[in-house]
Amino acid sequence: MVSSLCMGCFGGGNDDEFQWPDPVVDSCQMDYDLECSTLLQLGETAHHSLINPVDGNMWILFLGGVIKSWDGENLEDVADLSSLVSQCHVEQGLLGFSFDNDYEESMTILLSYVEEGTCEGENQSDLVLSSAEIGEDGMIDMESITVLKRIEQPYRNHNGGFLLHAGNGNYLWGLGDGGSANDPHENGQDSSNPLGTILLFEYRSNEISALLDNSTGDPFVLHHGLRNPWRFDVGADGDLWIADVGQNCWEEVNLVTLDKRSNLGWGDREGFQNFYEGVSCTDEEEEPGPGVTDPILTYPHDGGNCSITGGYWMDWGPENLRDAYIYGDFCTGSIWILQEIDGEWTDTKIGNSGGMIVGFGEGINGEVIVFHWTGEIVMISEKS
């Protein structure tokens, strides 16, 4: 479906040699008594959505720095942060947002983005976590934007940047390993370094605070050993589903807890193999070292697949997708669900979105939303 130009897609390849694949658009085809339709055709890349807890509208996040609100008929502007975010690299931009736990009272959201900076020479733009207030006009008050935390990024790729509210004012923030290829600074296995991790923090009174002890050297670090956790979600039992973008051979789905730190292996492991520069995808699988948690599922870079885009643990939405984890591949548009059947995790392909998947979201009426690199937003629902 896509040529080999993609070198790892959302999170792959060397920062200096990165090649983006040509855009691909095809027809969406779904099984499992599901159907799909085009919700919106936009001229720029949207990649995530959340339901506004006050009015029920769907807020749509655009990589270029814009947030819009969709009420089922009209798109309204919420924010234009394009002057604040870097667009030097296809993996930079506005990467995540979340509503405050007390949004109905505070009218505050959290934002994750790579800040604007020069596109010349080495990367000088940090990954930034900020808060912002929504004014009476329904737009972000630009003067209210407050920087809460900065993370230096040595390269322009592998930023992660996804934000997830984990309940009770606690949030998860995903960070890539800092970029380039082969984890050159060995950030993945350094638990005192925020790169290649998922951070856990509490947000109160327009400040963030760590919830963990400092035994690893960084009290914000919950899980480390990640390459580029582009998406993750909390399941019904409180466990954390992490889709981690691979480099040479394997895309990963990881399942860990929220109450215990984990090392997920990168850059010593990719999938079930030990990782080193020049490793072959046909090398034998090996047992992980002490303290390393392997993924529960991997899939190879075969048949055009190149880069996992994580989705959701489905305790909502179409009935046939319930009690499963949904995810897709950027290059092929394939979509799978992962279910526990007779005590084993089993993956099932449920269809193809017809485009290059950069994100999933939730629709106004509980539909599964799929975001394409080309700006198309597809809606998956039960077959009528």
What are the DSSP E strand ranges found in 278-373? 297-300, 308-313, 325-329, 334-341, 344-352, 357-362, 368-372
Report the sign of the C-alpha dihedral through residues 124, 129, 135, 137, in that order: positive
* Domains of the chain and any CATH numbers: 29-382 (2.120.10.30)
Whole-number Cα distances in Å, 70 to 126, 130, 316: 30, 23, 20
User: What confidence category does residue 26 fall into, taking pLDDT thresholds of 50, 70 and 90?
Assistant: confident
Three-class DSSP category at 214: coil
Name residue 110's amino acid. Answer: L
pLDDT > 70 in the chain, percent: 93
Token pair listed for 186: 């060995």
Closest by CA position to 233, among listed 179, 167, 188:
167
Contact 309, 360 (CB under 8 A): yes
Whole-number Cα distances in Å, 203 to 86, 102, 192: 25, 10, 21
Q: Which pLDDT value is given to residue 13?
A: 45
pLDDT > 90 in the chain, percent: 91
CA distance 279 to 300: 14
CA distance 259 to 272: 24
Q: Which pLDDT value is given to residue 260?
A: 95
Closest by CA position to 255, among listed 164, 169, 151, 345:
345
What secondary structure letter does DSSP report for 115?
A: B
pLDDT tens for each residue of 294-346: 999 999 999 999 999 999 999 999 999 999 999 999 999 999 999 999 999 99
Closest by CA position to 184, among listed 157, 218, 223:
157
The residue count for the chain: 384
pLDDT tens for each residue of 53-77: 999 999 999 999 999 999 999 999 9
